[in-house]
Amino acid sequence: MAKTTNLKVRLVGAGPGDPELITLKGLSAMKKADVILHDALVSKELLNHASPSCKLVNVGKRAGKHTLSQDEINRLIVFYATRYKNVARLKGGDPYVFGRGHEELDYIHKRGISVEIIPGISSAIAAPASVGIPLTKRGINESFWVITGTCSSGEMSNDIRLASQSGATVIILMGMNNLSQIVQNFYYSRGADEPVAIVQRATTAGQKSIRGTIGTIQQLVISNKISAPAVIIIGKVVNESSIHEVLKEDLIRHASI
């Protein structure tokens, strides 16, 4: 099928959670949209920027609470694109960073519908920054890896084993269900004292964060009731946080509980 000449769908990155962290281009696409199909984690404050006449469709998926399958979401995007002039698919973070954005683009393109990608700020970048952790620092590390903690099978990604053997900062998304296995891999490769931070609901009003080591992080998760959605950061840059002295006091207090 030949592509249409008119732009019909925009895949928009909504950013990590804070409604002010969407790009100006993403916000413009929202305001123009006749229909917005949005993820569950997109904030109500951000959706308030939509036109009063805009139809809002929640197609959100959360771990264990999928309202729609990916195939159903794909079909809905095409359904609305064939009936409305401007359709926005608003996805948390960046559509191309573990957001299945390219799957949606492929499906839409094959139906002859034109698509524009509007990148967003990924939580992989925003979560460490929100608690003062630099992903890179001269003399500390030379790279960072961004890895999914859970494959489509539910198992831990094999790339985590490879990453644990490197000197890189490792940022793990969607890894809380496999935290025990992740810790075990890093324990054998980097030792119990390797610094770790976890940031839950980064950049939102509900943000919580903990810092510890490979040896202490699982107990800290339990005592602080940390759960998904959360970003795991592993590496020596965790100790370079701009609020490191406060963090050390927190760790001492937790250790004494």
Active-site residue set: 39, 61, 174
The 3-state secondary structure of 193-209, one letter per residue:
CCEEEEEECCCCCCCEE
Strand order in the sheet with 208-213: 144-148, 169-173, 230-234, 195-200, 208-213
Joined tokens for residue 49: 């920027």
Question: How far is it, in rounded angstroms, from Cα 168 to Cα 236?
Answer: 9
Which residues, at least 6 apart from 221, have a Cβ–Cβ distance to it below 8 Å?
176, 179, 198, 210
Contact assessment for residue 137 and residue 240, using Cβ atoms and an 8 Å cutoff: yes
Cα separation, 181 vs 78, in Å, equals: 39
Judge whether 157 and 149 are in contact, CB under 8 Å: yes
Phi-psi region of 5 (alpha: psi -120 to 50; beta: other; left: phi over 0): alpha
CA 77, chain centre distance (Å) = 22
The backbone torsions φ and ψ at residue 50, rounded to the nearest 5 degrees and listed phi first, read -70, 155
In one letter, which amino acid is 112? G
